[in-house]
Structure 1
């Protein structure tokens, strides 16, 4: 069997989809060395992989000033990828693996060009782990450009170019076009969605394989009184804005106002950094907790109010749950647009959100059966894609030693 190096970025939406694949590879006899930040040690060690931590430079992240809700130009993603991921982590990963040998590398798509550098320096085949939608065009043509305001785009472009040139010299590798820094490199790209859900899938060649979301039980999920969900009401609505964009107390209060009189059980995941006392009067039809076992609650839910992050969206649709989507940043508008195109939910504009609009949107999704029907159609495509078992099979058929 083969020895595998898996590297990813320290983010819930990029780590969680890989857990099933890594465990399956290990169960199939592969030896997996998984590198991420220390915060994910316990979770990743539970897969049977050998965990190695790379250092997360919190100070650098603060200096970069990068936050998903503050992106004004696609080059900011490129800048963050170069300075916050490639320049920062590639040397440490190479240092930690210099006395090792591996048969293939799996790397997160946000390593971009960095994954290609690792593969070239280690002399092994590469596989790109795509936990969001795959790019069918350069990022600059996909990501919506917000009002740049006082952002000096010319200075940003010059800085990005200089950093990329410096990295190319450091590792003696060819410098790609700047728009290709964020490209999905790798002989194989494992995309954790279905071909039906992927927009413009016909533009992607056979190196892209669509295996659907990787749905696995989370051993660190907290206990939750699932038996209470339908004890008073016939319908259940789950609300979560993801792991990054939490602490939005105003939004949570808006939900309280909008749904106080709606006869349904609402479950709100407010995030561990939200002070529950700051929420004020919580309506009796709400259960509010810092952390909710999302997969278990989604299996009981009739609708999901979400930021439309790829991970949360995929998990909801996997369980046929229609969506009320309030995209805020990053790829969320793209994901939300695709769900709406396929009829699995509706999009609401956060900047124009009122209690009345939020209530109206939810009742529309709950009361019109077509949303549930289309969500199930998408869910069928996600489930039939094969999941982490199919991803492991495809990878090992191409790269593993017999």
Structure 2
């Protein structure tokens, strides 16, 4: 069987979808070396892969000078990928695997040009792991720009991006790509963790894009949760989570308290490990269960609606379990995901900047009480299930790249 190198960025939304695929490859006899940051060691080791850590430098992210989820110009995304992902990690990964051989490489799409560098230096086929939407255009051209760019020194930004790319090319002894190619989804094959039906503009993507649906697997590190309370007092369950990165919006949580305190439903709020419960105040309604971290897959299986930031991972998991959504996109690709859900009739998108308790309450009641939202969520969920999941992803990969015994 084949020896595989799998490289991913250190983020739950990019690691979690790969767990089922990696375990399936290992179960099928592939030897997988999985590289990510140290915090994911235990989670990834449970797949049977050989885990290796690369250094995650928090100072690098701080030195970028902007939050990578808030872009004021498209070149900011190129800058983030170059200085936040490719420059610190690709040379280190190459050093760690020096004198080793692999049969094929799987890399996260946010490595972009970095994945192409690894494939070129190793001389092996490459597969792009796409945990967000695939795209026919350079990602930096379609990522949501949240603020006006009048105060951005575009010339200086372009110069920094160019110089960083040239520096990486010198270190790795490769050619410098065009600026727009830094964010390309490279790879002989792209495994896209959604369905062709959910993917916007799927007809613009060639046959190298393989849609396998979201990879839904149990998580051994899920915390305990009082499931017996979910329907003890109410018939409806509403889950609220703003993801693993954007969880500290205390004012949004208080707005939820004001909007939902009189709705006869059990609300479950995952507020994040870094949110101090004391900061939520003393007026938490009695119909709320609040935990820093919630076993999301299990709660979604019992939820009637999901209030979410519309991150790709959370959205996919909800729709997989036929849960309609109220979406408050905050950054990055979330507006694109929310727009697609709304287009397909499986949820309602709200503007965080104009959000009021009344607007939030009205949207939730609409999703709960109008059956079309549930029906459309079922249609999207069925498209996910019919795509084949991580088993189909493993089959496609091994049919082309695995080495016979």
Specify the TM-score bucket, using the shorter chain as the normaliser: over 0.9
- The corresponding residue for 1:21 is 21
Partners of 1:226 and 1:65 lie apart in 2 by 42
- The corresponding residue for 1:171 is 172
Partners of 1:57 and 1:91 lie apart in 2 by 14
- Are 1:34 and 1:52, in contact at CA under 8 Å, matched by a contact in 2? yes
Partners of 1:112 and 1:138 lie apart in 2 by 10
1:193 is aligned to 2:171: no
Distance 1:46 1:349, change over 3 A: same
- Are 1:112 and 1:185, in contact at CA under 8 Å, matched by a contact in 2? yes
- Are 1:240 and 1:270, in contact at CA under 8 Å, matched by a contact in 2? yes
Partners of 2:69 and 2:54 lie apart in 1 by 26
Offset at 1:13?
0.3
Partners of 1:113 and 1:66 lie apart in 2 by 21
- The corresponding residue for 2:114 is 114
Partners of 2:108 and 2:92 lie apart in 1 by 16
- The corresponding residue for 1:305 is 307
- 1:216-235 maps to which residues of 2 (within 5 A)? 216-235=217-236
1:284 is aligned to 2:283: no
Partners of 1:66 and 1:132 lie apart in 2 by 22
TM-score norm. by structure 1 comes to 0.99
- 1:31-42 maps to which residues of 2 (within 5 A)? 31-42=31-42
Partners of 1:155 and 1:68 lie apart in 2 by 18
Partners of 1:153 and 1:244 lie apart in 2 by 28
Partners of 2:219 and 2:38 lie apart in 1 by 18
Offset at 1:68?
4.0
- 1:95-244 maps to which residues of 2 (within 5 A)? 95-145=95-145, 146-244=147-245
Offset at 1:144?
2.9
Secondary structure of the 1:55 match is coil
Q: Which runs of 5+ in 2 are unaligned?
A: none
Partners of 1:149 and 1:363 lie apart in 2 by 40
- Are 1:68 and 1:329, in contact at CA under 8 Å, matched by a contact in 2? no
Q: Which runs of 5+ in 1 are unaligned?
A: none
Partners of 1:57 and 1:143 lie apart in 2 by 24
- Are 2:144 and 2:331, in contact at CA under 8 Å, matched by a contact in 1? no
Partners of 1:19 and 1:139 lie apart in 2 by 25
Offset at 1:169?
2.6
Offset at 1:215?
0.2
- The corresponding residue for 2:78 is 78
Partners of 1:40 and 1:65 lie apart in 2 by 26
Structure 1, 302-311 or 142-151: larger mean CA deviation:
142-151
CA-to-aligned-CA distance 1:339-380 (integer Å, 9 cap, x gap): 000001010000000111100110011111000000000000
Secondary structure of the 2:231 match is coil
Q: Which runs of 4+ in 1 moved over 4 A?
A: none
Offset at 1:66?
3.4
Q: How many residues align?
A: 402
Partners of 2:395 and 2:125 lie apart in 1 by 16
- Are 1:237 and 1:301, in contact at CA under 8 Å, matched by a contact in 2? yes
Partners of 1:220 and 1:154 lie apart in 2 by 46
- The corresponding residue for 1:359 is 361
Offset at 1:69?
4.3
CA-to-aligned-CA distance 1:236-289 (integer Å, 9 cap, x gap): 000000000011111111100100000000000000001111111211100000
Secondary structure of the 1:287 match is strand
CA-to-aligned-CA distance 1:306-340 (integer Å, 9 cap, x gap): 00000000000000000000000000000000000
TM-score norm. by structure 2 comes to 0.98
Partners of 1:275 and 1:164 lie apart in 2 by 40
- The corresponding residue for 2:274 is 273
Partners of 1:64 and 1:159 lie apart in 2 by 11
- The corresponding residue for 1:379 is 381
Structure 1, 170-179 or 34-43: larger mean CA deviation:
170-179
Partners of 1:283 and 1:100 lie apart in 2 by 57
Structure 1, 127-136 or 145-154: larger mean CA deviation:
145-154
Partners of 2:242 and 2:150 lie apart in 1 by 26
Offset at 1:137?
1.3
RMSD: 0.9
- 1:294-333 maps to which residues of 2 (within 5 A)? 294-333=296-335
- Are 2:68 and 2:77, in contact at CA under 8 Å, matched by a contact in 1? no
